[in-house]
Amino acid sequence: MKLSTLKGFSPLLLAFATLLDNVDIVRADNPLVQTLYTADPAPVVYNDRVYLFTGHDEDGSTTYNMKDWRLYSSSDMANWQDHGVMMSLATFSWANANAWAGQVIERNGKFYYYVPVRRTTGSMAIGVGISDSITGPYRDALGRPLVDNNEIDPTVFIDNDGQAYLYWGNPGLSYVKLNQDMISYSGSINKVTLTTQGFGTRNGNAQRPTMYEEGPWLSKRGSTYYMTYAANCCSEDIRYSTGPSATGPWTYKGLVMATAGRSFTNHPAVIDYKGNSYFFYHSGALPGGSGYQRSVCVERFDYGSDGSIPTISMTTSGPPQLGTLNPYVRQEAETMAFSSGIKTETCSEGGMSVGFIENNDYIKVKGVAFGNGARSFTARVSSATSGGSIELRLGNVNGNLVGTCNVSGTGSWTNWATVTCSVSNASGTQDLFLKFTGGSGYLFNFNWWQFSQ
């Protein structure tokens, strides 16, 4: 559906889109999402794909105004598919605000989403969403909080012996041992003693003598357990500690990411995928970015020979692409490495689609393997106006034009049609830019595309 208002972007995001349209460069790929503000990354590897769950900072926020959780996925760490809203505050009848940092884990074919929310009574608590599919939708597993602790930032981990742990904490750090059902726990809440040996020394704050602040992320590599966390405040940096078990004892190791960018908070996540190690975080890198309008980013890194995590810098390029993208199978329009101007929305044909398209908006798809050459391009589109065109350009948004697909009006935004155009001189592996052109106002919606040889 189209809105009668102007684009849902903030004015600064719109200005950024206009600026990029007029700059003939290869676009940066960090932050991962440009269609809205995202925060608190929580990636999980499942079925040889990375699924990235995020929070969502509402446009124009001047506090932590967050109402739902979003999902993106990738098989190459460069092009990310938008799966939309997986869960929202409305999922929990007992909550009314603060859809903050959560994490998903799979067990026995079910997916569990642990999130902090504000109860209608005013305190914070941890709820659990559950789904039969990693892409949701998630429903309230309990109808009440799992942990009523007035704290935030849960991280969940299943050890090799099958024991699951749920940590959380600001200002403290606590954990429980989850039962096999993943929606109950055994014993009492265990509070970690925050020592300077375990979590470093913070200067000038007698109430917070250690580095630890919030946002814990528990992971394991070999026989070493890693507790990575937001440290100091404010602005936060990222630090880590290690231990011989999932419950410590913890030994402080050092800095992972220094304070940088326009966000005074940060939130870590660490995964291994296809033989590489990745560090996720958030920044204020998008136009209008701040501590309340954040954006998720990712960097590749290598552990030291002693298992140490190096100091990692924020970049605009992000990690190298793994492999290439196949243009000869159907690709969802909402799969992209970078974009300008557009937004995504729920599609009337199912899934998500790209909408709010105006003149000179574009989508970048990285590392497209055309091989010996494409001969035609097909797109699924709809338009309640007079439509527009999809220009197929290589290398950059004003690069070599290899085809133009004209889109006519279809009578409504939900009446879909398939259009095809010829393509020439598209071969090898190149970045593809889908540039949208036309008159004023919204041009068309875009569901999927595919080349043929």
What six digits make up the tokens of 114?
A: 């642990």
Measured in whole angstroms, the distance separating CA 95 from the mean position of its chain's CA atoms is 23
- The tally of CA atoms less than 13 A away on the side-chain side of residue 46 is 19
Q: Helix, strand, or coil here: 378?
A: strand
DSSP string, 163-229: -EEEEE-SSS-EEEEE-TTSS-EEEEEEEP---HHHH-B-SS-TT--BSEEEEEEEEEETTEEEEEE
Nearest to 252 by CA among 265, 262, 243: 243
| Residues marked as catalytic | 40, 214
Strand runs labelled E in 291-334: 295-301, 331-332
212 burial level (CB within 10 Å; 0-12, 13-18, 19+)? buried
Residue carrying structure tokens 């001189």: 425
CA–CA separation, 245 and 52 (whole Å)? 26
> Which two three-digit tokens encode residue 33?
């999402």
Distance of alpha carbon 416 from alpha carbon 450, whole angstroms: 16
Write out the two tokens for 286: 């998008």
**CA dihedral of residues 120, 126, 129, 135 (deg, nearest 10):** 110
Type of residue at 145: P
Long-range contacts of 17-20 (CB under 8 A, 24+ apart): 17/340, 17/341, 17/361, 18/360, 20/340, 20/397
